[in-house]
Structure 1
Amino acid sequence: MADWSSLPADLVNRVGDCFLASNDLDYYMEFRAVCHNWRSATADPRTSPEEPCFRPRWWVMLDELYSDDDTHLFVNATTGRFLHKSLPLLRRYYLVTTTTGGFIILSDRKPPHAAQVLNPFTGSLTRFLAPVPRQMHLAAAVVGSADSFTLVMASDSAREVYWADPESDAFFFEVCNRPSGMLPYIAGKYAGCKSGSVVTDTDEANKIIDNRRSAKLEYRVCAADSASGEVLVVSIEKGSHRIGISKAKMDSPEGVLEPVTSIGSRALFVGDRCLLVNSNKLPSIDANCIYYQVDCPDGWFCDDVYVYDINHGRAERIAESISTNTVMRENAHPLALLDLLVSYTMNIPEYELPWELMLERIPETLIDAAYLEDFDYDYDDVQFGD
């Protein structure tokens, strides 16, 4: 029987490169753990975590809102591979949000609550000096080359984009209309930017959104297509289910849009975050379609799911409302893959720290008991009906 540990280094590297090509970073780590010779022949992600080949690109944490233990469910949106990953490290931090590539954004539990970026597949934790902006809901992206590592976050409620490098003392920010949905387009503009001056590229994102508002379209969002270096820009008028699709180059300073008539075997999930998936690898997901939610008329915590067939230009309601309220979900049916993907794009996690700070401002006793005695109310005089 061959001694596998003595395989030539170039052959070992070729096997490792296959795992990296499919972004199966956990397989790569397990492969390196087999023996000393294989570790010596391959690059260590922990010593060079900024290298693009070691960054998660296609992974999505599906149970951001629902997981009650240390194990989290991920899916590779390109290969369709599912992975349950134990992450006990998360207990030591506040969960801020995740990226559509697979990074997990955390903050220290101790002041000043500095940002941390976790690669859950390699275990690499990139520590930042800057504290996380205290916004309740933050979308995020990690951008940059091997020489730069920039965390970009966006808050729709604050209408601001934030960015910082690990050495930055604070997050820089500037105003941007509804930035969460446009993050795939604008995030790359901030890579390596260490200045607090105005970044003019954001004006392009504002211009695109404002043009669509004049047409009374409710949504203007985009999803990154890393294979082509483009972003798909989707405009949705929810009331009439009118949908338009166009594309732009990520590095195009002019923001020139070209119409798109087909997205092939892929499917788009549209919401506060957007996701482009390979429908051939994911069961129950139709190709060349756009999935989205329409607000419930009663204003509850859920929306009905629609699918828009790009070929026929027709929208169809395909699922009942998906509740994101954990209390309401106790007796609900188990979430299917479609539910999880729609929920991921529509619901950005709540950053716990702002909640805790808000509660600290509430007095322990809202109403002094002595104050109630001033009313001297006699409950014996109350008349109750039959």
Structure 2
Amino acid sequence: MAGTSGAQISSRRAADRPRALPDPRRPCPSSNIRSHAQSAGRKRKYSVAIDVDPVRDWANIGDGPAGLIAELALASDVADYIRFRAVCQPWRRCSPDPCAGGLDGRFLPRKWIMLDKALAGPRRHRFLNVSTGECIRLDLPELAEHTLLALTPEGLLLLLVEPTLVVRLLNPLTRQLTDLPPVTALLRPEQHRSRQCGSQIGQTINVSGVGLVADASMVAVNFSDPRGLVAAKPGDESWTMVDKEYMNSGLPFAGRFYCANYRGVMVLTTSLDQQPPRLRLVADQSDSFDFSRMADSLHLVDNAGELMLVHRALSLDGEYARSYDAYRVDLEAGVLAPAKGFNGRAVFMGMFRSISVPAEAAYPSVAADSIYLGHDCDRQIQGYNIADGSRCSLIEAVYPRSIVDCLRCCIQGVGKQLA
């Protein structure tokens, strides 16, 4: 993503350069304990005197205390857990290996979003913690061997192996790869012919939603080209076709996968009796607003644990402009309830992805109850306030870019546009 390498992150780490996260597969020697402790001491100021024993053997504090610290680190964030395990071998021994967990929900980087290349090589990218504003650098050699298809809300990368058309999920923090079925049977005839002529098929595949369902035991992918909502488990030989209708968006929420199109909001249902997954309507949109299948679009948002829907439409004021209305998805009542805000948060929205961030707290330059739009979603305005309908005009690019510019760029596009 050109031009964003100098983005200023308005957060508690704004003064720090993005840090490189330790490779979980290359542990640091135990001698690093002292440097970690000294570094922590420089960054923290205590109001009380602490008697620190200079000869304490921190590497051998015991599996009990070290295991408790590991649990607290993991409860905070998987990145903190990886840093903890990188200190020494005894600390790694008392904590589960995140690289052996597959799609273990404990080790998913749910708070992290990939921004762009960090100008330190073709494989290095910056990742932003959307909750705290912390920014880190990660070296991902896997990107040189795969085609990037999409980013998942769980922080994973959906990849394609061109020679075999096998799909994989990469955890960028643990570097764990999970194999999924190939997309061979899903391709259109034109895509098969292009592949026979030597074309890179990954550049023609578009994903409008992807996520984990059923306690991370299944993966759902909403392809817009080739069209189809499919699902599979790791180890399956092929994808199960669920629905071939066009879906505006797809999003994992509370362990289930939701889709939105002209009919409303639907959920992917699974059963224990080996029946194939299917879609079930949970909120009809026809009673809430008029929808044009040619001009409008629907966008699902996980707003800090609340499922919401944004209706993007052409305004009726005589000008060619977009309007945006937000709704809370009431799953119990099966209705869409109009909303005039995002509970003090802000939403960054592209055509196929959306993220919700805490406005003002971690990002002082971000206005609450506003939608910030990717260029693929709206080229006329930068933001739209849900509460009063006011618009924020596009601002001419300046350098270094702000966090708003950075997130608006990274939320747009699919496939090669992400990298």
TM-score, normalising length from structure 2?
0.67
Q: Does 1:307 align with 2:387?
A: no
CA distance in 2, matches of 1:196, 1:120: 33
Q: Measured at CA, do residues 157 and 347 of structure 1 come closer, stay the same or move farther in structure 2, by a change above 3 Å? A: same
Counterpart selection for 1:338 from 396, 404, 408 = 404
SS for the counterpart of 2:137 is strand
Ranked by relative contact order (alpha carbons within 8 Å, sequence separation 6 or more), the top structure is 2
CA distance in 1, matches of 2:314, 2:374: 8
Residue aligning to 1:257: 336
Superposition RMSD on alpha carbons, in Å? 3.5
- In the TM superposition, what whole-angstrom CA distance separates every residue of 1:134-182 from its partner, at most 9, and x where no partner exists? 4521134331355x43222223355421221112211122336542524
Counterpart selection for 1:278 from 358, 379, 395 = 358
**8 Å Cα contact 1:140/1:151 also seen in 2:** no
| Amino acid of the structure 2 residue aligned with 1:222 | L
CA distance in 2, matches of 1:47, 1:244: 43
Residue aligning to 2:302: 224
CA distance in 1, matches of 2:301, 2:120: 25
CA distance in 1, matches of 2:160, 2:268: 21
- Within-5 A mapping of 1:190-205: 190=268, 197=276, 199-201=278-280, 203-204=281-282
**8 Å Cα contact 1:62/1:341 also seen in 2:** yes
CA distance in 1, matches of 2:276, 2:269: 14
Residue aligning to 1:18: 72
| Amino acid of the structure 2 residue aligned with 1:315 | R
**8 Å Cα contact 1:78/1:277 also seen in 2:** yes
Structure 1 unpaired stretches of 5+: 297-301, 323-331, 353-386
**8 Å Cα contact 1:290/1:308 also seen in 2:** yes
Shift of 1:38: 1.0
**8 Å Cα contact 1:212/1:220 also seen in 2:** no
Residue aligning to 2:139: 86
Q: Measured at CA, do residues 182 and 94 of structure 1 come closer, stay the same or move farther in structure 2, by a change above 3 Å? A: closer
Residue aligning to 1:170: 238
| Amino acid of the structure 2 residue aligned with 1:142 | G
Counterpart selection for 1:116 from 168, 176, 198 = 168
Runs of at least 4 residues of structure 1 off by over 6 A? Answer: 64-68, 191-196
CA distance in 2, matches of 1:233, 1:140: 14
| Amino acid of the structure 2 residue aligned with 1:21 | A
| Amino acid of the structure 1 residue aligned with 2:173 | F
**8 Å Cα contact 2:129/2:135 also seen in 1:** yes
Residue aligning to 2:371: 290
SS for the counterpart of 1:63 is strand
Q: Does 1:245 align with 2:322?
A: no
CA distance in 1, matches of 2:221, 2:343: 30
- Within-5 A mapping of 1:119-130: 119-130=171-182
Shift of 1:122: 0.8
Counterpart selection for 2:220 from 146, 152, 169 = 152
- In the TM superposition, what whole-angstrom CA distance separates every residue of 1:63-105 from its partner, at most 9, and x where no partner exists? 2799961101111111211111111122122222211331011
Shift of 1:191: 7.5
CA distance in 1, matches of 2:244, 2:287: 11
More helix by share: 1
SS for the counterpart of 1:156 is strand
Q: How many residues align?
A: 328
SS for the counterpart of 1:127 is strand
**8 Å Cα contact 2:207/2:225 also seen in 1:** no
- In the TM superposition, what whole-angstrom CA distance separates every residue of 1:176-216 from its partner, at most 9, and x where no partner exists? 65425243467265486796846132x447x5389745378
Q: Measured at CA, do residues 131 and 294 of structure 1 come closer, stay the same or move farther in structure 2, by a change above 3 Å? A: closer
Residue aligning to 2:31: none
Identity %: 23
Q: Does 1:138 align with 2:207?
A: yes
Of 274-283 and 181-190, the range deviating more from structure 2: 181-190
Q: Measured at CA, do residues 59 and 349 of structure 1 come closer, stay the same or move farther in structure 2, by a change above 3 Å? A: same
SS for the counterpart of 2:66 is helix
- In the TM superposition, what whole-angstrom CA distance separates every residue of 1:334-377 from its partner, at most 9, and x where no partner exists? 6543223122333122499xxxxxxxxxxxxxxxxxxxxxxxxx
CA distance in 2, matches of 1:176, 1:221: 18
Shift of 1:218: 1.8
* Greater Rg over alpha carbons, structure: 1
Structure 2 unpaired stretches of 5+: 1-53, 188-203, 259-266, 316-320
| Amino acid of the structure 2 residue aligned with 1:138 | V
Counterpart selection for 2:90 from 37, 43, 50 = 37
Q: Measured at CA, do residues 28 and 308 of structure 1 come closer, stay the same or move farther in structure 2, by a change above 3 Å? A: same
Shift of 1:290: 1.1
Counterpart selection for 2:309 from 233, 241, 248 = 233
